[in-house]
Amino acid sequence: MSTALVTGAAQGFGFALTAALTDRRTTTVVDARDGGRLHAAVATLAHPDRVVAVPGDVTDPAHRGALLTAVRAAGGLDLLVHNASELGPSPLPSLAELPLHAFEAVYETNVIAPFALTRLLLPLLRSAAAATVVTISSDAATEAYPGWGGYGSSKAALDQLAAVLGAEEPALRVYAFDPGDMRTAMHQRAFPGEDISDRPEPATVVPALLRLLDERPASGRYRAADLGSPIPREAGR
């Protein structure tokens, strides 16, 4: 692939994926809400010259327009990774205690923004030889964990959007990718005060996603934990 867009790339899995993609000579457009953190992160990469940093919030239509401009300037788009995510309040409240405004903010970032950005970029993806869309999922999308109702239901909705997009756009590959628990700032916010040092670093999970991108099995939902085994060509359907 020649050009990718990774949202939420200033830290965690998005940053680790960006590092891996640029090592593969992929021009990677990245964003994050905190512009200072984003530029500082890009500066630490082995190949910062292969990164186009566009600070901003994916929930902002003007920012999504800036991302479109950036990928056009880069020559098109082969890979779109919806990594930016909103956890909600910390500690995680029950549904009965989850404020409506916080619930709306979770859905705005985790569902509406990826939907809007995908629609905006779909003509570029369709024109690529072999384009892929990846939505970052979670086991909270499929399991009922107390406190995870807002975030988990938003990821379930995003999974379904990915599934339908894959059915409607057979020329694309559309993957809902569940990386599993990772040692990230968001995961720490989900478990304030707990020691999460036993969780794997995001960089150790990236190879599982790269395998999906390389092998291009059927569109569908894949767990990083399952990608050590052969992938049936129709596994995702």
Q: What is the pLDDT of residue 199?
A: 85
Q: Which two tokens stand for residue 65?
A: 């327009």
Q: Tell me, yes or no, if the pTM score tops 0.85.
A: yes
What is the side-by-side strand order in the sheet with 27-30? 51-53, 27-30, 3-6, 79-82, 132-136, 173-178, 220-223
Q: What is the pLDDT of residue 1?
A: 58
Count CB atoms within 10 A of the CB of residue 205.
21
Q: What is the pLDDT of residue 237?
A: 38
Which regions in the chain score pLDDT beneath 70?
1, 229-237
Q: How far apart are CA 18 and CA 68, in angstroms?
A: 18
**pLDDT per residue as tens digits for the range 48-94:** 999 999 999 999 999 999 999 999 999 999 999 999 999 999 999 99
Judged by DSSP in three states, 79 sits in strand
User: Which residues are the active-site residues?
Assistant: 151
Q: What is the pLDDT of residue 182?
A: 87
**pLDDT per residue as tens digits for the range 112-122:** 999 999 999 99
Domains with residue ranges and CATH for the chain: 3-226 (3.40.50.720)
